[in-house]
Chain A
Amino acid sequence: GQQVMQIPQYQHVQEGEDFTTYCNSSTTLSNIQWYKQRPGGHPVFLIQLVKSGEVKKQKRLTFQFGEAKKNSSLHITATQTTDVGTYFCADAGGTSYGKLTFGQGTILTVHP
């Protein structure tokens, strides 16, 4: 089945540094969703990207969908301690419902 590879697995940054996580697939992604999971919590939806080359921003977070729809990235500018958690990308596989295939996630640690 569809596999979504996410890198890096871990990222440690100093507060104020930038952070990027990448999501890659060998096949075309229908659309990509991003979730954040705080330590001990549950995944929370951040955004969904559908169009080739799409770029969306949410305050300090920038999400991109590759031109070939085979990769996506999440970039956080000037990290804060509140950004700590695991960030997941997920492919919806072309369904009209939420049958998601998740990447392995990137665990972000922010040192004050």
Chain B
Amino acid sequence: NAGVTQTPKFQVLKTGQSMTLQCAQDMNHEYMSWYRQDPGMGLRLIHYSVGAGITDQGEVPNGYNVSRSTTEDFPLRLLSAAPSQTSVYFCASSWVGSYPNEQFFGPGTRLTVL
């Protein structure tokens, strides 16, 4: 199993550009989520999904869109990039209702917006 994969690993954007961060998992996890990590602030939840066709907002959703058309994929779209979106983005997945409810994280995408 590849686990949780994310592409790209690094990305530099100019203000106003759009892009999609890809996330895929091959563990048949129902739950998938996106976090951003900024120094001194831990990880903050952007969007999450409990299954195909179901998404919901987390703590910091503004400026980001998601969709979940398949169980495996959960892309994160930046509509119009801003310097405040410079961050490290992690995708995570897990089963629903399992114990322990371990979250499996991808390797991350390091995004810089100029």
Contacts and interface: CB of A to CB of B under 8 A. Distances in A.
A92 B101 contact: yes
B46 to A, nearest CB: 12
A110 to B, nearest CB: 20
A71 to B, nearest CB: 17
- What range describes how many residues of A lie at the interface? 20 to 34
Interface string A42-60: 1111011010000000000
A47 B43 contact: no
Highest count of chain B CB atoms <10 Å: which of A50, A97, A101: A97
Interface string B80-114: 00000000001010101101111111111000000
Interface string A17-54: 00000000000000001010000011111011010000
Interface residues of B, number: 29
Contacts of B31: 97-98
Highest count of chain A CB atoms <10 Å: which of B44, B90, B97, B100: B100
Secondary structure dominating the interface of A:
loop
B58 interface: yes
B53 interface: no
Contacts of B107: 41-42
B45 to A, nearest CB: 7
B12 interface: no
Given A42-B105, A44-B105, A88-B42, A98 B100 contact: no
Contacts of A96: 96-97, 101
Contacts of A12: none
Given A1-B59, A42-B105, A98 B42 contact: no
Interface of A: 1, 6, 9, 33, 35, 41-45, 47-48, 50, 88, 90, 92, 96-105
Given A99-B33, A104-B42, 8 more contacts: A33-B100, A33-B103, A42-B107, A97-B94, A98-B31, A99-B58, A101-B45, A104-B40
